[in-house]
Amino acid sequence: MGSRAQDVVAQARAVVTEAAAYLGSNGDVDANQQAAYDLGHAAAVVEAAAAVVEYGEHGDVERRIADAFVAEAVHDVATRLLGREAAWGAEPGALDAAMPFVREHRSADFLASLSGLEGDRHLDDDFELVRDTFHRFAQDKVRPLAEHIHRDNADIPEEVIAGLAELGTFGLSIPEQYGGYSTGGDGELLAMVVATEELSWGSLGVGGSLITRPEILARAMAQGATEAQKQEWLPRLASGEVMAAVAVTEPDFGSDSGAITTTAVPDPGGDGWVINGVKTWCTFAGRADVLMLMARTDPDRSRAHRGVSMFLVPKPRAGGHSFAFDQPDGGRMEGRAIDTLGYRGMHSYEVSLDGWRVPADCLVGGAAGVGQGFYMQMASFDNGRLQTAARAIGVMQAAYEAARDYSSDRSVFGRALSDYELTKVKLARMAVVIQATRQFMYTVARLLARDTGEGVLEAAMVKAYACRSAEWVTREAMQLHGGMGYAEEYAVSRYFADARVLSIFEGAEELLALKVIARRLTGERPVVPPQRIRT
Ligand SMILES: Cc1cc2nc3c(=O)[nH]c(=O)nc-3n(C[C@H](O)[C@H](O)[C@H](O)COP(=O)(O)OP(=O)(O)OC[C@H]3O[C@@H](n4cnc5c(N)ncnc54)[C@H](O)[C@@H]3O)c2cc1C
């Protein structure tokens, strides 16, 4: 017999599944965007709840954390459903059977009793060691720099990159045969997410996000590169000798990345390619040694994403907020950093390429890679989304700890802020959401590592849920700091600013909810069937 929490998750899942079937029979997702958007988010929180129920089997504290999260998840689904039952094809009161459980585990008494309980992560010893190593690096090398880099919009010092390279950070999910540290199996992606969370706990911009670009490029290459390209690039990516940036987004096409207009045409003066176009939001493009760049190789624009190929574009390194490079034969590449609210250190650039030449072997996949770039990019984004969830969890954990410590130090109306029921409930809910999201992330990492096409849906779910939660957790953490939460001298203001970007990049949450999650759940054709990748 299942636990009560399991039964409640099953009830919530049934509501979501029935709504998906109803929507699927009622036209496509775009015909019912609001319902599909809500459904996508509801499905994500329900699957997070399913993951945390398993975690609850570890012991009493874990079970209480799991119960609190399951109640939170039903509340989330219910608020999306309330008043929109008709659009979901659901009856009013569809979640009534879950209400006794929700009442019990959303009560202030129950939540306040959880305050101070964060729950063990229950990682194996090997991954605890990874965690410990990266936590210490984040504490000793990243945190001392984080404030300065954020406030002065400064560059990440080379010592941080070299230190991370020495720890093997950039090769965590690159297979051993290509110079990385991954030995395959279910745990293949776990070290990467554990390390990413800890580095992001140190700083989103200075720590956790450095690892994202090699992760995306390595995954894309694993899908589509020739053996010679893998041999040439992956060991250098794994060692940190080569740092990468991802150049997909263009001024007119972000979410709709299959419509990009940057072109690559065969070089009339050689056997390579000539690239023309403007990319934007290309994070780390200055310091990077190579751009993973998407360009249209088919002049027939009606072929949309089927006319896009992936290129490795080598470039010189540059520090600061702008760069310009000229090639002897007239090619030019220019970059200008876009000022941002947070996520500083790597800088995100607008990059223009004017007649920029690359050798023939820079086309990923060689001749077989022509027109395959979009599919490779999509495969790489699954890992990127999982990793972005890890980034969100690291930021949330940092914000939670700051709020926890501040509220025990701060006295209001003659009592420690942490003594008040409201504070206890806030801190408990934050810790519960963080642990649940983390456990969901571990589950997705194991699924995705199987490389069977499983976990793609869940990677979008955990990304959407973790990033949305990071906005709420950092907001609550800032709020608990009162006025000082708004002061730059307290790191919590940076966590709040940094968290805001997470729901925008690596798939804006609307896109994930509509085009990945809802489309799959309703049985509508996903944007890209995984088996489409040829090489
Ligand atoms: C700090 C930062 C760093 C970044 N780093 C990189 C990077 O390194 N490399 C890179 O290539 N890109 C990067 N990006 C770009 C990022 O991936 C895009 O911003 C994102 O994909 C959204 O694209 P867009 O900005 O063009 O927004 P748009 O696509 O114009 O979207 C605007 C709004 O419309 C919504 N929307 C879009 N389509 C639909 C629809 N069909 N129905 C309903 N709503 C819709 C979106 O969700 C969003 O809310 C970065 C962005 C930021 C802010």
How far is CA 335 from each of CA 252, 262, 263, 282, 501, rounded to the nearest angstrom? 17, 15, 18, 9, 21
Per-residue tokens: 334: 């220019």
Residue keyed to tokens 């949305």? 468
**Cα atoms found within 13 Å of the Cα of residue 105, Cβ hemisphere only:** 23
- Return d(Cα 271, Cα 516) in angstroms, integer: 38
Residue 459 in domain:
no
Q: What is residue 532's predicted lDDT score, i.e. its pLDDT?
A: 41
User: Terminus-to-terminus CA distance in the chain, angstroms?
Assistant: 46
Task: Clarify whether 215 is annotated catalytic.
Answer: no
By the 10 Å C-beta count (0-12 exposed, 13-18 middle, 19+ buried), 155 is classed as buried
- Return d(Cα 335, Cα 345) in angstroms, integer: 16
**Res 101 pLDDT > 60:** yes
Average pLDDT, rounded, for the chain: 95
**Res 529 pLDDT > 70:** no
Three-point CA angle 44, 175, 454, nearest 5° = 25
Q: What is the mean pLDDT of residues 12-18?
A: 97
How far is CA 85 from each of CA 30, 193, 338, 353, 518, rounded to the nearest angstrom? 18, 37, 43, 50, 17
Residue 10 in domain:
yes
Ligand 1 pocket check for 147: Cβ under 6 Å = no
Residue 261 in domain:
yes
Q: Whose CA is nearest to atom 39 of ligand 1?
A: 511
pLDDT band at 1 (very low <50, low <70, confident <90, very high): low
Residue 313 in domain:
yes
- Return d(Cα 225, Cα 363) in angstroms, integer: 9
Among 60, 89, 106, which residue terminates a domain? 106
Q: Which of 506, 509, 510, 524 is catalytic?
A: 506
CATH of the domain at 368: 2.40.110.10
DSSP string covering 345-356, please?
SS-EEEEEEEEE
Per-residue tokens: 323: 């760069």
Q: What is the mean pLDDT of residues 37-61?
A: 97
Q: What is residue 530's predicted lDDT score, i.e. its pLDDT?
A: 41
Using one digit for the tens of pLDDT, what is the confidence trace for 132-176? Answer: 999 999 999 999 999 999 999 999 999 999 999 999 999 998 999
Q: What is the mean pLDDT of residues 316-345?
A: 97
How close is the Cα of 505 to the center of ligand 1, in Å? 6
- Return d(Cα 244, Cα 286) in angstroms, integer: 10
Q: What is residue 380's predicted lDDT score, i.e. its pLDDT?
A: 87
Count of other CB atoms within 10 angstroms of residue 37:
19
What burial letters (b/e) apply to 316-340, b meaning 16+ CB within 10 Å? eebeeeebeeeeeeebebbbbbeeb
Domains identified in the chain, total number: 2
Ligand 1 pocket check for 451: Cβ under 6 Å = no
**Res 437 pLDDT > 70:** yes
How far is CA 260 from each of CA 252, 255, 276, 294, 363, rounded to the nearest angstrom? 8, 10, 12, 8, 17
Cα 248 to the chain's mean position, in Å?
Answer: 16
Which amino acid makes up residue 355? Answer: G
Q: What is residue 527's predicted lDDT score, i.e. its pLDDT?
A: 52
Residue 47 in domain:
yes
Ligand 1 pocket check for 346: Cβ under 6 Å = no
Among 29, 505, 516, residue to substitute to test ligand 1 (most atoms within 8 Å of Cβ): 505
- Return d(Cα 293, Cα 291) in angstroms, integer: 5
Instruction: Yes or no: say if 189 and 448 are a contact pair by the CB < 8 Å rule.
Output: yes
Instruction: Yes or no: say if 386 and 443 are a contact pair by the CB < 8 Å rule.
Output: no
Using one digit for the tens of pLDDT, what is the confidence trace for 173-229? Answer: 899 999 999 888 888 899 999 999 999 999 999 988 999 999 899 999 998 999 999
- Return d(Cα 89, Cα 80) in angstroms, integer: 13
Among 374, 397, 429, which residue terminates a domain? 374
- pLDDT above 90 covers a percentage of the chain that reads 90
Residue 63 in domain:
yes
Instruction: Yes or no: say if 420 and 346 are a contact pair by the CB < 8 Å rule.
Output: no
* Structural domain harbouring 20: 4-106
Ligand 1 pocket check for 107: Cβ under 6 Å = no
Among 347, 374, 401, which residue terminates a domain? 374
Using one digit for the tens of pLDDT, what is the confidence trace for 73-97? Answer: 999 999 999 999 999 999 999 999 9
Ligand 1 pocket check for 160: Cβ under 6 Å = no
Per-residue tokens: 135: 């936590």
What is the three-class DSSP state of 297?
coil
Q: What is residue 531's predicted lDDT score, i.e. its pLDDT?
A: 40
Residue 275 in domain:
yes
Residue 250 in domain:
yes
**290-296 and 244-247 beta bridge pairing:** parallel
Using one digit for the tens of pLDDT, what is the confidence trace for 272-306? Answer: 999 999 999 999 999 999 999 999 999 888 898 99
Q: What is the dihedral of CA 507, 513, 516, 521, to 10 degrees?
A: 170
